[in-house]
Structure 1
Amino acid sequence: MAMQDELRPLVDQTNPRPPDFRTIAGLDSAYDDESGVVAAAAVILDSATLEPLETAITHGTNTFPYVPGLLAFRELPTSLAVLEKLTTTPDLLICDSQGLAHPRRFGFACHLGILTGVPTIGVAKTVWGNYIEPDPERGSSTDVRIDGELVGRALRTRTGVKPVFVSVGHRIDLDTACAQVLALTPKYRQPETTRQADQLCRQALRAALQAPLPTCRTT
């Protein structure tokens, strides 16, 4: 918690350049609670076609428990490791997690953005904070606030389907973040980056549990 408080002022909520994101990466992790094995996946998509350009996976063993508000300390080691396997540096990172919409305004997406320097967005399925349900049509949104402070938006990516919760991670503003999320959700509730990374890490975890793995401990 002290580290989150120390790093929070480094979060940049502006666009450092015109928001021309040509390559967008999604990250996700899957865990086996019994063995502690974790599989992390990264998928880079072409922003114009949403076709995959590159994928990477890595495995590790995680000893940090799930603690609400401290997801970064559970997922950062393997997330950073899988990003290092990519040959291309993406223009934008999409995380299946919170950014500023976090009790200490420093969720996983903020932490990853600070460490990588890459513009980063948090897109979560659940919410910290208060919001009013947006209108049912795709593209409708309402503000998410914690203690009266604007921290994100509830964004309807599919008509009549539950919204996702978008917040700034690093080096992007909230309006641009929401526009990017809508562009990444032409068919489904979740961004295509997240969907593909989720499928890949689950497949990698199943494969890892069926065969011995080299020792690779992350803490």
Structure 2
Amino acid sequence: MLVPSTVEEAVTLQSTLAAAVVRTPPPGFAPRTAAGLDVAYAVGSELVAAAVVTVDIATGEVLESATEVGTAAFPYVPGLFAFRELPALLTALGRLRTTPDLLVADGHGLAHPRRFGLACHLGVATGLPTIGVAKTPMADYPPPADTRGATSPLRDGDDEVGAALRTRPGVKPVFVSVGHRIDLATACAQVLALARRYRLPETTRQADHLSRQVLKDSRGELR
């Protein structure tokens, strides 16, 4: 992946690529496998550890995983995290033996100032259906009802850019947005299918754990 050399170039690239995002799933879309993608950062250095973990959507069983340890080649700038994480994530993804049906990014998709967050960039770069699942919102939302599966709109100004999704009663929602080749209702349904026992989908939990372990093994203190 070509990394822009300046913040201005990165912003321009995001704005240009945003037009390539497809907000509908492929005909007959019925994914059986999903891969979670996450990156852990080291304290006091640019070391990053990326992990991709594929699970069986029906059972939550881990099927395959791959990792990559590298150096972030872009500065820490809000709204431009994809340029720090994508090179390592794409390398790890390319090491999987079997292409997953769905990607689940630990971050936003359309819920982004330029409607092109990490999940969108991953989807456009790979051509795979992709969902963004974030732990914190980037926009305003009314709390969804306190029942599993309840949603409320995530809004940036007048635009509905995602949904706050309650995966467990009494627990803070997660924030779901379209990445690429999927619609919001389908994205929420898939996240619920992957989050049977915990707040976060199993894809995210597994990828987070693996990226942290790989970073620790590389002697990087977690940030």
> Which TM bucket (shorter chain)?
over 0.9
Tell whether 2:60 aligns with 1:50. Answer: yes
Letter in 1 for 2:157: D
Provide the rounded CA distance (Å) in 1 between the counterparts of 2:204 and 2:144: 22
C-alpha deviation, 1:15, in angstroms: 1.1
C-alpha deviation, 1:33, in angstroms: 3.0
Question: Paired residue for 2:86?
Answer: 76
Provide the rounded CA distance (Å) in 2 between the counterparts of 1:66 and 1:135: 35
Question: Paired residue for 1:67?
Answer: 77
Question: Paired residue for 2:22?
Answer: 12
C-alpha deviation, 1:182, in angstroms: 0.5
Question: Paired residue for 1:214?
Answer: none
User: Which of the numbers 17, 31, 35 marks the counterpart of 1:21?
Assistant: 31
User: Which of the numbers 178, 183, 204 marks the counterpart of 2:214?
Assistant: 204
Question: Paired residue for 1:182?
Answer: 192
User: Which of the numbers 148, 151, 157 marks the counterpart of 1:138?
Assistant: 148
Question: Paired residue for 2:106?
Answer: 96
Q: Which runs of 5+ in 1 are unaligned?
A: 211-219
User: Which of the numbers 121, 124, 127 marks the counterpart of 2:131?
Assistant: 121
Query: Any conservation in 2 of the 1:136–1:160 contact (CA below 8 Å)?
Result: yes
User: Which of the numbers 37, 40, 50 marks the counterpart of 2:50?
Assistant: 40
Provide the rounded CA distance (Å) in 1 between the counterparts of 2:96 and 2:161: 31
After TM superposition, the score normalised by the length of structure 2 is 0.92
SS in structure 2 of the partner of residue 55 of structure 1: strand
1:141-199 deviations in Å (ceiling 9; x for gaps): 10111121111000000101000000000000000000000001011111100000000
Identity across aligned pairs (percent)?
A: 60
Query: Any conservation in 2 of the 1:19–1:176 contact (CA below 8 Å)?
Result: no
Letter in 2 for 1:45: V
Q: Which contiguous aligned blocks of 4+ residues in structure 1 show a shift greater than 3 angstroms?
A: none
Q: Which runs of 5+ in 2 are unaligned?
A: 1-10
Query: Any conservation in 2 of the 1:39–1:59 contact (CA below 8 Å)?
Result: yes
Q: How many residues align?
A: 210
1:68-109 deviations in Å (ceiling 9; x for gaps): 110111101000000011011000000010000111111000
Question: Paired residue for 2:6?
Answer: none
More displaced 10-residue stretch of structure 1: 7-16 or 60-69: 60-69
SS in structure 1 of the partner of residue 219 of structure 2: helix
Provide the rounded CA distance (Å) in 2 between the counterparts of 1:90 and 1:58: 18
Letter in 1 for 2:42: D
Question: Paired residue for 2:4?
Answer: none
After TM superposition, the score normalised by the length of structure 1 is 0.94
